[in-house]
Every structure is written in C-alpha cells, then in structure tokens.
Structure 1
Amino acid sequence: MMIHLLFDPFISYGFMRRALVACLALSFSTTPLGVFLLLRRMSLVGDALSHAILPGVAIGYLVYGMSRAAMGIGGFIAGVVVAVLSGWVSTMTSLKEDASFAGFYLGSLALGVILISLRGSSIDLQHLLFGSILSVDTSAIYLIGIITSITFLTLALLYRALVVESFDATFLRVNSSIFPCLIQSLFLALVVLNLVIGFQMLGTMMSVGMMILPAIAASCWTNWLPYMFFLATIIGLVCSWCGLSWSFYSYIPAGPTIVLIASIVFLFSVLVGPRGGKVRLFRRRRHNVMVSKDNK
C-alpha cells in the first residue's frame, strides 16, 4: 500500500514526473557543492548567495516578465557580482568574509523584494521566493540537465584542487601553479549557477536547503569524503521523492515540503549519527559513569 502511494502520483501525472526528474537532477548537482561548502566552512555563504541572486531575478522579471532564461541570467550576474564584491571587501579591509557576505546579501534581498513589488503581485513574489516546482516544463528539465553536466565536469576537473584548497590553501599556493583565489572563484560561480537553477523550482528562500542539508546530514554519518558525496546525494534523492509525494497527498507546497523533510533527516542524523550523535554520546557518558561507580 505504501509503495503504491509513493509511485502512483508519478505514474499517473506528467507534471509530477517532470518535477521528480528535475529534483533528482538537482540533487545530483547541488549536494556535492554542499559537501564542499561544508568542508570550507562556507555553509552560510551559500545561504547568502541564494538571497543575493534576487535583484538580478527581479530585473529579469521586470524587463521580460516570467521568463526563466531572463531571470536565470539576471540572477547569475547578480550572484557573481555579490561574490566578487564580498571577496574584494574582505581582502581590502579587516572585515571577515562571512560578515561581508552578510552585509551584501541582506541589501540584495531587500532590493530584490522592492523591485518585484514595483510591478508584481503577491502571487508573483511568492513564486519567486518559494518556487513553483510543479510547473517545471520540458525546456527547464533540459536546462537543469545541462547545468548538472557542467557541474559534474567542472568538479571532476577541479576535484583534487578543491579538496586540497578546502583543507590547506597555503599548501596549494606553494606547491601548485593554480592560485586558490581562482579555485574559489570557479567554485562560487558553480554555486551561483546551481542556485539560479534551484530558485526556479524551490525559490530563492529554499534552493540552498537542498544544497546544504543533505551534506550536513551525510557528515554526521561518515568522514570519508567519497562516501559523504554518495550519501548526501542519496539523501537528496530520497527527500525529493518523499517531499513530492507528501505534497501531492497533503495539498501543500512541494518545495518547502522537500526542504522540511531534508531538515528532519538532518535533525535525525545530528541526534543519532555516529559522528556527533547526541543520543549515542549521552549513552556513552552514562555507561562511563556506571563503570566508574562499579569500580569504586
């Protein structure tokens, strides 16, 4: 019965199949980036960039209406500009990078909302902020497939440098002709590109959730990097499938539902995962206390 409930919406309805394919492709593309953001201690930077794309999305919306291509190009340009300006400010001043990103993304978010409100209705603003995954069409799926392929190819070419730079940027600077700033710039461009694709389905508020939450949950179960990539992708796939099914039967928004399930998996992993599981840590401490009492 449960299996029938999970499969029936995708067998019976084309829009559910398209949404599922888009979510699965997005999971393959964004979760490896989330793992690298986690390794580089830049999880909140990903959240900042997801909000920073909103002014570009708003300008594309004002000029061309609800055109995915125009909003995507505008969002990508806005995200790259914010990333470059934040890096420049943190380099030229004593301000740390996270504070610089926070300042720029808050201003970008406010500017984007104001720009959209100049012409759009509350429904348009809601679609841009929280996504409309069930309206994904075939052309959007092709675009997501292209971005996923670009992401995989770039990560494959830069994998070694990204891993080394995540743990020891000084070592990479001394022992390689590749500058860490170039690696970081390419990586942030990939993050922005995937956030731009993700916002069209999950919205600017939710797109970073599918990038970060599966990565954090996977890190609670393993510290072996290849396995972490694999587990994060599996978590993203399962959350997408279950979120779409739940939203279909409950008549609730699909994007927030997917992110909510990812949050539940994250909380479960934090509590019981072998790497930082609070329940296991509590049991271990209790066992140590009992052993010490017995020895006395």
Structure 2
Amino acid sequence: MNLYDLFLAPFMQFGFMTRALAGAVILSLSAGPVGVFLMLRRMSLTGDAMAHAILPGAAAGFLVSGLAILPMTLGGFAAGLVVAVLSGLVSRFTIQREDNSLAAFYLISLALGVMLVSLKGSNVDLMHVLFGTVLALNNDALIMIGAIVTVSLVALALLWRPLVAECLDPTFLRSVSGAGQPVHLLFLALVVINLVGGFQALGTLLAVGLMMLPAAAARFWVRSLEAMCALAIAISVVSSYLGLLVSYHLSVASGPAIILVAGAIYVLSMLFGSRGLVSSNLRPRRHRVA
C-alpha cells in the first residue's frame, strides 16, 4: 500500500468520507475556540453536562419526524437552553450552586432522552443519537453545521472582550457593569449550539470531546489566548482527519476513532508539550540565593 492509498484515496474515492471530513473540519472552526473558553473559565464539565442536556430535545425531534436533521437540531437546541436557564435560576434563587444543578438536570435529561428514543426507535436509532454517524452526513447536515459555525464565530467575535475579561477575573465584569450574567447565558447558548452541531456528526455523548480535548492539548503548547484557539482548531482538524483514516482502514466506528485520536494528542501534549511534564522536569530549577 502506497502513501496515496493510505492517506488520500479514502477521501478521493468515497463521497461519504469527503463529507465526513468536511463536516468535522467545519465544526472544528468554532468548537476549538469555544472549548478554550470553557477550559479557561473552569467550565469543562459544564460542557459535558450540556452535551447530555440536548438529548431529550433531540429525542423529541426523533419521535416527531425520525432522523430528520432540522427537528432534532431545533429540539436539541431548545432542550439545552432550557437546562442552562433552569440551572442558572436554581443557583440564583436557592442555596445550590450552578454546577450541582447542572449535574442534576443533565442526569434527568440523559434518562429522559434515552427513554424517549426507546419509545419509538430501535437500539440502532439509540446508538445513532448517542454516538452519531459522521459517515452518514449529507449535504443538508453540512449546511446546518456550516450555519451553526458561522453564527458561533460571529457571536465569539462580538463577545470576545467580555469573555476574556471573565477568564482573567470572573468578578470584574459583574462589578463594573451588569453584563456579567447576560454574557454568561449567551456563552452557554454558544456552547449549546456547538454541541448541537457536533451532535449531527458525533452524537450527544462524544460531541463535547471534539470541543474539549483539542483545547486541553493546546494549553500545553502555547500561552496566548489567540494562539491557543488557533492550535485547538488545528488539533481538532488533524484529529478528525486521522480518526477518519483509522476508522476506514481498521473498520471501526468513526466518531470514537476521532475522539481517541484527539485523546492521544492530548496525552502526547501533556507529556512532551513545551509546558508538559517532560519539558517542566528538564527545565533547570531556580535556586534561591541565601
């Protein structure tokens, strides 16, 4: 097997591979930066909770119209927003913190979504909703993902400064203006819409992986926020490409293969990145002068 057959032939010969790669690359453009902000705001597990929160809405769309893209997308977005708003209200008007209320709501959402899918669908349908089918992306799905990414990038550009301010000092924005809570809710909506886009390709359980693993890996290499976002996008694209190749040549599931490649890059970055374990231990230690 030559290099062409190994690295290019699957995407040149099969349209479903080309569409899968295109969908993953487009999604990476916004998932990477959103993941960076989630990580810097110490909200990584919030992303995982919101990924589960979209499940009942997507399942409701499935009950209405099967595996049609638009109803499942709109249902997932609506469910994610409801959970985000409810968890914020609970933390504001009760003694419970937002992370605790998110955990409660995502467990309820996960159970409700699985039950709704099981009412009408088979185990195959349930696996499709939970883990996605990136190789089954059609032109409508690509258009939907492209629209979501476009909206996300515009929103990120508009919210960039307040998001950076909250990363540096979470209390600063709230103290100097009343924009802190609206920015927080808008950012959660941004997370939800990207998870809905990722859901089309990777399902509800794996969509957050393409968001968080490249962001976490990028932090071991660079310091500036802009460089971190750019590197997260690059790692996400590389993970998508290599994951699809692995799935094609080894005949394994594409979504998990993409996330496992991203996980491998994360482990390598943690060990050998410029800010990783090996580099930190090799760096000469500074001694105090008595």
Output the TM-score relative to the length of structure 2: 0.95
Q: C-alpha separation between the residues in 1 aligned to 2:98 and 2:250?
A: 41
Q: C-alpha separation between the residues in 2 aligned to 1:216 and 1:262?
A: 10
Query: 1:271 offset after TM fit, Å?
Result: 1.4
Q: Could you give the per-residue CA deviations for residues 7-63 of structure 1, whole angstroms, max 9, x where no partner exists? A: 111111111111111000001021110000001100000000000111111111111
1:232 maps to 2:232: yes
User: Which residue of the partner structure matches residue 112 of structure 1?
Assistant: 113
Task: Report the AA paired with residue 279 of structure 1.
Answer: V
Q: C-alpha separation between the residues in 2 aligned to 1:159 and 1:150?
A: 14
User: Which residue of the partner structure matches residue 281 of structure 1?
Assistant: 280
* Stretch moving more, 164-173 or 184-193: 164-173
Query: 1:4 offset after TM fit, Å?
Result: 4.2
Whether the 8 Å contact between 2:19 and 2:142 is mirrored in structure 1 is yes
User: Which residue of the partner structure matches residue 70 of structure 1?
Assistant: 71
Q: C-alpha separation between the residues in 1 aligned to 2:282 and 2:162?
A: 40
Task: Report the AA paired with residue 83 of structure 1.
Answer: A
Q: C-alpha separation between the residues in 2 aligned to 1:3 and 1:173?
A: 55
User: Which residue of the partner structure matches residue 157 of structure 1?
Assistant: 158
1:218 maps to 2:218: yes
Could you say what secondary structure the match of 2:204 adopts? coil
Q: Could you give the per-residue CA deviations for residues 227-260 of structure 1, whole angstroms, max 9, x where no partner exists? A: 1011101000100010111111111111110000
Q: C-alpha separation between the residues in 1 aligned to 2:94 and 2:270?
A: 36
Unpaired segments ≥5 residues, structure 2: none
Could you say what secondary structure the match of 1:107 adopts? helix
Could you say what secondary structure the match of 2:67 adopts? coil
Q: C-alpha separation between the residues in 2 aligned to 1:93 and 1:263?
A: 37
User: Which residue of the partner structure matches residue 192 of structure 1?
Assistant: 192
Task: Report the AA paired with residue 116 of structure 1.
Answer: V
User: Which residue of the partner structure matches residue 58 of structure 2?
Assistant: 57
User: Which residue of the partner structure matches residue 123 of structure 2?
Assistant: 122
Q: C-alpha separation between the residues in 1 aligned to 2:277 and 2:175?
A: 40
Query: 1:68 offset after TM fit, Å?
Result: 1.0
Moved over 6 A (4+): none
Counting only pairs closer than 5 Å after superposition, residues 1-296 of structure 1 correspond to structure 2 as 1-176=2-177, 179-275=179-275, 277-284=276-283
Task: Report the AA paired with residue 159 of structure 1.
Answer: W
Query: 1:3 offset after TM fit, Å?
Result: 5.0
> How big is the alpha-carbon RMSD for the aligned residues of Structure 1 and Structure 2?
1.6
Task: Report the AA paired with residue 264 of structure 2.
Answer: I
Unpaired segments ≥5 residues, structure 1: 292-296
Percent sequence identity over matched residues?
A: 50
Q: C-alpha separation between the residues in 2 aligned to 1:89 and 1:3?
A: 56
Task: Report the AA paired with residue 91 of structure 2.
Answer: S
Q: C-alpha separation between the residues in 2 aligned to 1:122 and 1:81?
A: 27
Q: C-alpha separation between the residues in 2 aligned to 1:245 and 1:11?
A: 12
Aligned residue-pair number: 286
Task: Report the AA paired with residue 193 of structure 1.
Answer: I
Q: C-alpha separation between the residues in 1 aligned to 2:16 and 2:260?
A: 21
Whether the 8 Å contact between 2:174 and 2:181 is mirrored in structure 1 is no
Task: Report the AA paired with residue 65 of structure 1.
Answer: G
Q: C-alpha separation between the residues in 1 aligned to 2:204 and 2:240?
A: 17
